[in-house]
Amino acid sequence: MTTPDPLAPATHCVHAGRPHAPGEPVNPPVVLTSTFAHGGEHTYARESSPAFAPFEEAVGALEEGRALVLSSGMAAASAVLATVPAGGVVVAPRSAYMGVLGLLREASADGRIALREVDLTDVAAVEEALVGADLVWLESPGNPLMEVADLPRLLAAARAAGATSVVDNTFPTPILARPLTMGADVVLHSATKYLAGHSDVVLGILVTGDDERGRGLYDAFHHHRHLHGAVPGPMEVWLALRGLRTLALRVERASTTAAVLASRLGEHPAIERVRYPGSGAMLAVDVRGGAEFAERVCTATRLWVHSTSLGGVESQIERRRRYPSEPDIVPEGLLRLSVGIEDVEDLWRDLSAALDGVATA
Ligand SMILES: Cc1ncc(COP(=O)(O)O)c(C=O)c1O
């Protein structure tokens, strides 16, 4: 069968990693084995397994690179950090996802790396910090401040400085951004979020380019996954591929809804500021009443699920400063909203009723 090339992302979502040969099942099987009879391609599932290939193929097709699945987004982040030599310099956003920031700050406190925290929206400051850097960590929009970085410019600066660049593409997904095509060396996903899309697995994935640096990084990540045991379970990988089939539809629907909600929230008297980058399904709002008001809104909604995480079919709401490890540049009254695929009017009725109810209580 010949296929038109290149395929659009929505088509990759449905077909990449799917068996097409006569007599094959339409979906790849769940491969539940830890070991393999000697003499073939695979030996032991911590090293490699056919359970991983279809999902890796699909994400690789979407991100236009070669993908390696790991047991969580943080396992993927750890594999990237492990490539930095002892004493190496890492440039990272001051408001990166708090888990990643915690990992980097710990490595810095232990003396393993030198960490330079920057405001990614200040290109000159990032360029200055890149001098002598080994790795630059980029996240755009940032979690949860929704700050947008000029990725092509920062990636060009990273390349000129000789630093390896990694882009956490969890928020935009490959439907809205493909950082390898902008010059990134590595793309990272918490596949727990949009890629899997149903809040039922914890999973990470790294994608590298096809140049010499990309191939070297892939080998280093594979070696790390093998030796550190950061392998996912076959069932999780299968569920993630199942979820990925609808990624384009989910992102399109949730993004349209998020734009409507962002605009209406901007008119609501209880909202001081809406942080919405203009696309995508994530947004944040600063409420006028601070931490207590924000917490009460979270428990007043009926549809919006008060829980951490994001990128599921269900809408989620959370005050981020409830975590002591959330950087203190995040306002106390900031609510992070992950918009799901429910009906927009139902979501608005639920959210605005919660805001109104708390405001008049
Ligand atoms: C932007 C971002 N990157 C990475 C991670 C870590 O991923 P995981 O929870 O799958 O380890 C998260 C988790 O919330 C995240 O939001």
- Read off the CATH number of the domain in which 88 is found: 3.40.640.10
pLDDT (tens digit, 9 = 90+) per residue, 233-248? 999 999 999 999 999 9
CATH for 302: 3.90.1150.10
Q: Can you give the residue range of the structural domain that contains 297? A: 247-360
What's the pLDDT score for residue 79? Answer: 98
Structure tokens at 1: 């069968």
309 Cα: distance to centroid of ligand 1 (angstroms): 8
List Cβ neighbours of 289 (8 Å cut-off, separation of 6 or more).
270, 333, 358, 359
What distance in angstroms lies between residue 322's CA and the mean position of ligand 1's atoms? 17
Question: Is ligand 1 within 6 A of the CB of residue 194?
Answer: no
Q: Mark which of 223, 244, 265 sits at the end of a domain.
A: 244
Residues 67 and 176 in one domain: yes
Cβ(71) to ligand 1 under 6 A?
Answer: no
- At CB < 8 A and 24+ separation, what contacts does 207-213 make? 207/59, 207/60, 207/63, 207/65, 207/66, 207/67, 207/68, 207/180, 208/65, 208/66, 208/68, 208/180, 209/65, 209/66, 209/180, 209/184, 209/185, 210/65, 210/66, 213/164, 213/185
Residues 239 and 254 in one domain: no
Task: Tell me the HSE value of 355 on the side-chain side, using a 13 A CA sphere.
Answer: 23
- Separation between Cα atoms, residue 162 and residue 296, nearest integer Å: 48
Could you tell me the pLDDT band of residue 3, with boundaries at 50, 70 and 90?
low
70 and 214 both lie in a single domain: yes
Using the 3D structure, point to which of 192, 222, 244 is the last residue of a domain. 244
Would 282 be classed as within a structural domain?
yes
CB 144 within 8 A of CB 168: no
pLDDT of residue 338: 98
One domain, residues 162 and 266 = no
pLDDT higher than 70, residue 272: yes
pLDDT 10s digits, 69-96 = 999 999 999 999 999 999 999 999 998 9
pLDDT reported for residue 246 = 98
% the chain with pLDDT above 70: 99
Active-site residue 218, yes or no?
no
**Is position 193 annotated as part of the catalytic site?**
yes
Q: Looking at the structure, do residues 231 and 150 belong to the same domain, yes or no?
A: yes
**For ligand 1, is residue 140 a contact (CB within 6 Å)?**
no
Tell whether ligand 1 has an atom less than 6 A from the beta carbon of residue 202: yes
CA dist 326 and 332 (Å) reads: 10
Q: Give the residue-averaged pLDDT of 16-42.
A: 96
> Domain count of the chain?
2
Residue 168 annotated among the catalytic residues of the structure: yes
Does 250 have pLDDT greater than 90? yes
- Place 173 in a pLDDT band, splitting at 50, 70 and 90: very high
- Average the pLDDT over 250-255 and give the result: 98
pLDDT digits (tens, 9 = 90+) for 104-157: 999 999 999 999 999 999 999 999 999 999 999 999 999 999 999 999 999 999
Q: Which of 210, 244, 278 is the last residue of a domain?
A: 244
89, 113 Cβ separation under 8 angstroms: yes
* Spatial separation of the C-alpha atoms in residues 213 and 89, rounded to whole Å: 18
- pLDDT at position 361: 86
Q: How confident is the model at residue 1 (pLDDT cuts 50, 70, 90)?
A: very low
